[in-house]
Amino acid sequence: MAALRNAAIGALRTAGVTNIAAANRHHARGSTRPLAILGLI
């Protein structure tokens, strides 16, 4: 689980996010948002 969390934080930082907690809340609200930040949608 820690590896998945670290991967998610790394993806957010690569996308230029500075507030990780706010970004986690934002992306948790929609099922496609995490895929969009990875460029899969």
For residue range 3-30, list pLDDT tens digits in order. 988 988 998 899 899 999 999 898 888 8
pLDDT band at residue 37 using 50, 70 and 90 as cut-offs: confident
**What's residue 39's pLDDT?**
81
In the block, which residue shows the tokens 């970004």?
Answer: 23
3-class secondary structure per residue, the chain? CHHHHHHHHHHHHHCCCCCHHHHHHHHHCCCCHHHHHCCCC
**What's residue 38's pLDDT?**
77
**What's residue 6's pLDDT?**
93
CA atoms within 13 A on the CB side of 25: 3
**What's residue 2's pLDDT?**
93
**Short-list 40, 37, 41, 39, CA closest to 13:** 37
**What's residue 29's pLDDT?**
87
CB atoms within 10 A of CB 37: 18
